Amino acid sequence: MIIADLHIHGRYSRATSQQLNIANLEKYARIKGVDLLGTGDFTHPLWLKELKENLTEADGILKTKTGFPFIWQTEVSLIYSQDGKVRKIHNIILAPNYEIVRQINELLGKKGNLSADGRPIFGKYPCYAFVEDLMKISKDIEIIPAHIWTPWFSLFGSMSGFDSVKECFKDQTKNIHALETGLSSDPAMNWRLSQLDPFALVSFSDLHSFWPWRIGREATIFNTKLSYKEIIRAIREKKIKETIEVDPSYGKYHFDGHRLCKVCMSPSESIKNKNICPKCGRKLTIGVLHRVEELADRPEGFKPKNAIPFRRLIPLSEIISNLIGSSVATKKVWNIYYKLINEFKSEFNILLDVSYEELKKIVDEKLAKAIIMNREEKIRIRPGFDGMYGVPIFKEKIEDPQKGLNKFI
């Protein structure tokens, strides 16, 4: 079993940690329990240099000196006009080896400045032309539309997206095999669109820092050999074991709203208000849930045949932080976090497998019960909106896990 996070960034991307390097990525991937990472940002010349200096390649897998594996990966931003509207679409690229990476960079270097940002921006370059050009380099390249529902930069985004995959990729839709759900949606929301049935739904973190509440917060689990070829085969044939998702309410764009006005609205509330902010009178940022409702042709709760399973988990640091009332990066949170890691090896082991009885030997009962609640998807989240993350909601009284944990929220 391989827990993979194949959408990350290096420190040369905008708004990323300056300590984002190979050593920290490996360290915190191991702490989290992630088995395979994307390299992030192979289009950036300085990051590419670091990747080549620190990793060795075999069978499409790059490894550190201590053996931690990566796959060649980057994300690009395409901004162009189509059908009378400005489109802003992000796409993930996975590549089989350095020679293909070199050819991709040669192609994209003619379209824009690769040194300007780890996630480069290319204008007047439609998605269908982009995919067609990459397929001419190698059919082994995998292009995955990124965080497909976020408002500003995605396939279905309310501000700049399309209403169908085919509108965006046209005849190159045949070369799109998977879609990244993003933090603000989960597979169940995507199952409501019959047009998405042919595609594998994958989940990755899109991390901008290496901390454990970012790395692997969403991931895809493969039951396959650790090789580029087998990972891509699993994606293309929809032979994915399952995905790990955050509750979509935790995502920054789940509900509609205005961040500056501190206005958060459900789709039904927004529609009643004609999608206008009641405080400033301007148009609301329309979130993911609203957009799904607009495009869905199936009722809530519909599940396609052979749908890939998924789990919803909130990062452990967030649970600790909200329970003790201390910021996620404080020493108080870290002390509790590492107490658990030192005993149980990795965060995913704690979140997925360690029993309540084992947990309460190490931490207080309230936290032990919260971890079980998280596993059972019984933590309610105040929805995120307009760039604000959702917040787990806790009450003081927590029922014993053996009695259903039904008084926790």
Quick one: 227 and 368 in the same domain?
no
pLDDT at 59: 87
Other beta carbons within 10 Å of 117: 18
Above 50 in pLDDT, residue 398? no
Q: Token digits for 202?
A: 């994958």
- pLDDT tens for 367-381 read 999 999 999 999 999
What's the CA gap between 310 and 288, in Å, rounded?
19
Give a yes or no: residue 230 inside a domain.
Answer: yes
Quick one: 242 and 341 in the same domain?
no
Count of domains for the chain: 2
Give the percent of the chain with pLDDT over 90: 96
- pLDDT tens for 220-268 read 999 999 999 999 999 999 999 999 999 999 999 999 999 999 999 999 9
Domain end, chosen from 249, 270, 299, is at 249
Give a yes or no: residue 294 inside a domain.
Answer: no
Whether the CA torsion 268, 273, 275, 279 is positive or negative: it is negative
Expressed as residue numbers, the domain containing 363 is 315-381+393-403
pLDDT averaged over every residue in the chain? 95
Quick one: 343 and 224 in the same domain?
no
- pLDDT tens for 330-377 read 999 999 999 999 999 999 999 999 999 999 999 999 999 999 999 999
Strand segments (E) across 287-398: 310-312, 381-382, 391-392
Q: Token digits for 46?
A: 């300085």
pLDDT at 394: 81
pLDDT at 406: 35
pTM assigned to the model = 0.95
Taking residues 128-140, report their average pLDDT: 98
pLDDT at 343: 98
Taking residues 92-118, report their average pLDDT: 98
pLDDT at 396: 44
Domain CATH number, residue 190? 3.20.20.140
Q: Coil, helix or strand for 171? A: helix
pLDDT at 402: 43
Quick one: 325 and 240 in the same domain?
no
Quick one: 237 and 332 in the same domain?
no
Quick one: 219 and 322 in the same domain?
no
Residue 284 is which amino acid?
Answer: L
Taking residues 90-94, report their average pLDDT: 99
pLDDT at 395: 65
pLDDT at 409: 28
Above 90 in pLDDT, residue 160? yes
Domain end, chosen from 249, 270, 294, is at 249
Domain end, chosen from 216, 249, 282, is at 249
373, 405 contact by CB (below 8 A) = yes
